[in-house]
Structure 1
Amino acid sequence: MATEENFDYVIVGSGAAGSVLANRLTSDPGVTVCVLEAGPPDRNPFIHLPAGFVKTLADPGVTWQFKTEGIPMTGGRRISTTQGRTLGGGSSVNGMIYNRGQPADLDSWAQRGNRGWGYADCLPYYRRSENRIGVSGETRGKTDGGIPVTDMDWIHPVSEAFIEGCVGLGIPRAKDYNSGDQAGVGYYQRTIRNGRRVSAARAFLKPAMARPNLEVRTNARASRILFEGKRATGIEYLHGPGETPKRVMARREVIISAGTCNTARLLQVSGVGPADLLGRLGVPVVHELRGVGSNFRDHYASRLVMRAKPGVETLNQLGRGLKLGAQLARWAMGKPNILATAPSHVHVFWKSFEGLDQPDLQCVFTPGSYAEGKVYILDDYPGVTAGSWQHRPESTGWVRARSTNVFEDPEINPNYLSDPMDIRVHLAGMRLVRRMLNTPQLSRFLERETLPGPSAQSDDELLDFAKKNGSTTYHLIGTARMGPETDPTAVVNDRLLVHGMQSLRIVDASIMPSMPSANTYATTLMIAERAADFIRGRESAAEAA
């Protein structure tokens, strides 16, 4: 028999959204909150060292080692789409890029019938979650206790040459891509301070854990949502396979912040989802919502590699032997170093075709390269990497539970490049990246293209490379999309409450109706700030002020 305990709110997941919610809700001392995290505490030292992401992404101890289904447009490959499984969730293992996207992203959400989700409505919540270090402005946040957002401090001459080359192609140097004007080239802003990653757990959850009204339970894997009729009453969870289940009950709300894949799976195994899927799983239907698990989207990226000329030192050399030791020493002394940088150094937000009003591509550049077919193993020669992906892919897939066993990974099918427009934009992005890598400004540093190589010139040849070498950017969204009740594919309303249910709310990237023109982390923080106000009865940031 499962044991039971009672709280006002039970939050499943301690990632970006769960950490923010735990902090904001427990600021009221009269409210009790329990957070269930499937993974361990964030004590792994590689979590906190920015360059440690190369270790944590491959570590099943702190990540969900999810893989997509093999599909024709990936050459039948199953692509690793790792997600965080520790305090801080994805914010403890991600690339630390802070990127809000374009105002039009949110305005389109509002235009779909989601009241209060336009850019003007959401900007105060971006600002609330952020502590922009060293720069001020009307659009930027200076909130004490928010996520610190800092500028790149380790600058490589090849990166500078890449930027100069882009400017030579007519791409302006961007002042602040998070100001609402995204177009241009420049260095990424990142969530690193004093040489350390600052995850959502460090910024939001850990301070709140000092409060007596918050309890955080790690290694607690939610196995199902408990219901009385259509009302969510709690969560059943397990510490391991075969363990006796435990229960935590919610007097006010159950909040699912488990991430795009796990949120969909948990709803499905609990009886909320498409009736035909629930029937195959042998799960009684609590409430049929056919949108649960559908509308799944991700950014699909192809990356090109150039070999640098002899004598040019890139990350490939600086990350080995005595040179790595020197970088460690610089890190210990608080000087700019390669260990405290994000994996992507330079951004380019630009257009796949002339005549577009706004960029539809995100491109990245790093003065380093990884061996073909190997996960974050540096090449043994000096090299650089640049890649691109489409801002708003049209291709949609799904996430489906395979069984009611929550220790079995779900079926994840992103249907990459299944829409003809996505193929067109993807190929245009690859050609743009190739132009950016072959500017006169870079020619004194670079020798030749090694991936895909000069023999790949036609659309068919480039698409074949994309199928065999493209990868996820870990930007998973949409499996519990927000929309009005008249939308048969919508799962939550514009207050993030599940349609047709009571006391059940979803707060994570799964509610995004469409892909933002950005990495998803910053917008997930904003969503959680917005949801915290909804829960506390505050409809706008002005009311909360």
Structure 2
Amino acid sequence: MDIIETDVAVIGAGSSGCVIAGRLSERADLRVTVLEAGGSDLHPWVRMPIGYGASFYHPRLNWRYYTDPETGLNGRRAYWPRGKVLGGSSSVNAMVFIRGQARDYDLWAEAGNTGWSYEDLLPHFKRMENNLAGADQWRARGGPVTVRSIGQEVHPLARAYVASAVAAGHTANPDFNGATQEGVGFYQITTKNGFRASAATAYLHPAMKRGNLQVVTHAYVTRILFDGRRATGVEYRHGDRLVRLMARRQVVLSAGAVGSPQILELSGIGDPERLAEVGIDTVHALTGVGENLQDHVGFDLCYLSKVPTLNRTFGTWTGRMAAGIRYVMTRRGPLSLSVNHAGGFVRSDPARQRPNIQLYMQPMSYTRGVPGKRALMQPDTFQGVMIGMSNCHPLSRGSIHLRSADPDEAPSIRPNYFSAQGDLEEMVDSAALLRSIAAQDPLVASLDGELKPGPEVTDREGLSAYVRDTAGSIFHPCGTCAMGTDPGAGAVVAPDLRVHGIEGLTVADASVMPLITSGNLNAPALMIGEKAASLIAARL
């Protein structure tokens, strides 16, 4: 067995891990080593923005998880793409940049997580951002992550959608990450000069030029090593070698909402009864490991279009060729964007205190595919658009736990979608909201009727059946190593992100979220990396 040494071992080069490694390596007195199970992100499906439609299923770039059969989805398994590549899921996601609502973070702080209010976190959000629209009270220039609005480049149907949403009574909002999240408008994405701006391109690659940072790809972590209750290193497989990386000062676990609880349990940290069931000795009892799983879930209505949609662009060789030539020559056009052109955050009921629904408008359709998958390169043969939603604050809670002591076996993923009845009711209620937008000018003039579920489906029973049959993950899992002050109540990490009862071990990624944030999770995961890097640096 090979044994090597470092000061800080970072498990996972995902959204948070890249930030932590990049920031800590700014310290010349620290040697930082990053272990990543995936390989290089130098791949066309990673670098070209719309390529995420292919990377979602790519065996080299994606873990391609499936949940256990879900009762709430009528026994279906939900597909869960997670990045298996430098940059993690920031290298395979839809690039939509959403911080979340200020109230999301204030609730974290009110639960005892000191230092995690929105006011506390705003400097970390601003530090990471290079907003091409310019700096203001809420936004910043000069950070590693380039953020830009696509309002000038969206499909004409996306502009019609926003105008129709305003006509339906919703407020226009030019910046979902500004003073308020509420309203409708065009999404901002993380691209730079026509290429994806991932955590790897923003933080890790620049830092790899420093002599004190080492990145090991294809490193499959089998367990964290301990001396009593202190984390001392990491054991991993690299090809046919078993290696021990000894960390003199800190082990940082940033393997994501799936990988972090999996590795903790493999290492003997978790519920003793669960660990015993798979033959793992308990190093430290923490019953919250793998619990508190939260995820956004959504569904779409599909409409026929009287005008050409991106189905024609991506569904024909002539359309793909024209888009490809435009992209190569200008780094512009549909290949340089996410498929989510427009959307917003609204209230399903005016009596609600804050927006609870996220809206999506995609100027294409792919109803022939498996629900929950994004077959962008295999759209419908007809001209269609999809208008969708997801829940911002789901009440359902699930879990992620080992099936066995084999590190290569994917864990059991049980989101328990719709186990809280209010979640399904919220989804059904939103159907009328989506239809009200589609019924307004100017969008209605371009549509040729609702295809799915069809205008005849109006009763709650029929809409509930449609949701259960078609809804899927929005790919925002979090909460499985929840932050909190009381491990007896399920907290895994303290507000300083150190694992309760263990020295030298920090967890920092979306798994530490006690409550899911409103909207896409990549921006919050990057922020967690920034916050964690500051916390870790202060104690080293």
TM-score normalised by structure 2 residue count: 0.97
Question: Is it true that 1:427 corresponds to 2:423 in the alignment?
Answer: no
Candidates 296, 304, 309, aligned match of 1:307: 304
Shift of 1:500: 0.5
Q: 1:12-161, aligned counterparts within 5 Å?
A: 12-144=11-143, 146-152=144-150, 153-161=152-160
Residue equivalent to 1:4: 3
Question: Is 1:287 aligned to residue 269 of structure 2?
Answer: no
Contact 1:269 / 1:281 at 8 angstroms: preserved in 2?
no
Q: Cα gap change, 1:482/1:121 in structure 2, threshold over 3 Å: closer, same or farther?
A: same
Pairing of 1:78-477 with structure 2 (within 5 A): 78-144=77-143, 146-152=144-150, 153-240=152-239, 243-309=240-306, 312-319=307-314, 320-334=316-330, 336-374=332-370, 375=373, 376=375, 377-477=378-478
Shift of 1:370: 0.6
2:174–2:186 contact (8 Å) kept in structure 1: no
**Please, which moves more after superposition, 369-378 or 127-136?**
369-378
Partner of 1:530: 531
Is the 8 Å Cα contact of residues 155 and 341 (structure 2) preserved in structure 1? no
Q: Which runs of 5+ in 1 are unaligned?
A: 540-545
Whole-Å Cα distance in 2 between the matches of residues 6 and 335 of structure 1? 43
1:441-496 deviation line (CA, Å, top 9, x unaligned): 21211101111112321111111111111111110100000000365200000000
Q: Structure 1 55/290 Cα, relative in aligned 2: closer, same or farther at 3 Å?
A: same
Secondary structure, aligned partner of 2:65:
coil
SS in 2 for 1:513: coil
Query: SS state of the match for residue 176, structure 2?
Result: coil
- Post-superposition, which runs of at least 4 consecutive aligned residues in structure 1 deviate over 4 A? none
**8 Å contact 1:12–1:256 — kept in the other structure?**
yes
1:351-408 C-alpha deviation (Å, 9 max, x unpaired): 0112222111101001111133344120001110011111010100000011111111
Contact 2:14 2:86 in 1 (8 A): yes
Q: Residue 3 of structure 2 contacts residue 245 of structure 2 at CA under 8 Å; is this kept in 1?
A: yes
Offset at residue 335 of structure 1 (A) = 5.6
- Contact residue 194 and residue 334 of structure 1 kept, 8 A: no
For 1:543, the equivalent position in structure 2 comes to none
TM-align CA RMSD: 1.3
Comparing 229-238 with 313-322, greater Cα deviation is found at 313-322
Partners in 2 of 1:26 and 1:148 — Cα distance?
Answer: 21
Letter in 1 for 2:131: R
Checking the alignment, whether the CA contact within 8 Å between 2:311 and 2:379 is kept in structure 1 is: yes
Fraction of identical pairs, as percent: 37
Give the CA deviation at 1:179: 0.9
Aligned residue type for 1:424: E
266-275 or 452-461: bigger deviation: 452-461
* Aligned residues of 2:6 and 2:33 also touching (Cα < 8 A): yes
- Farther-moved stretch of structure 1 (171-180 vs 276-285): 171-180
Distance in 1 of aligned mates of 2:538 and 2:128: 19
Distance in 2 between residues matched to 1:193 and 1:251, nearest whole Å: 37
Separation of aligned partners in 1, 2:147 and 2:539: 27
Once the two structures are superposed, residues 8-66 of structure 1 have per-residue CA deviations (whole angstroms, 9 ceiling, x without a partner) of 10000001111101111010111001000001111221100011111111111111010
Gaps of 5+ in 2: none
Give TM-score, length-normalised by structure 1: 0.96
Alpha-carbon distance between aligned partners in 2 of 1:387 and 1:239, rounded to the nearest angstrom: 42
- The number of aligned residues is 533
Note the alpha carbon deviations across 1:148-169, whole angstroms, 9 max, x for none: 0011142222111111111111
Checking the alignment, whether the CA contact within 8 Å between 2:262 and 2:290 is kept in structure 1 is yes
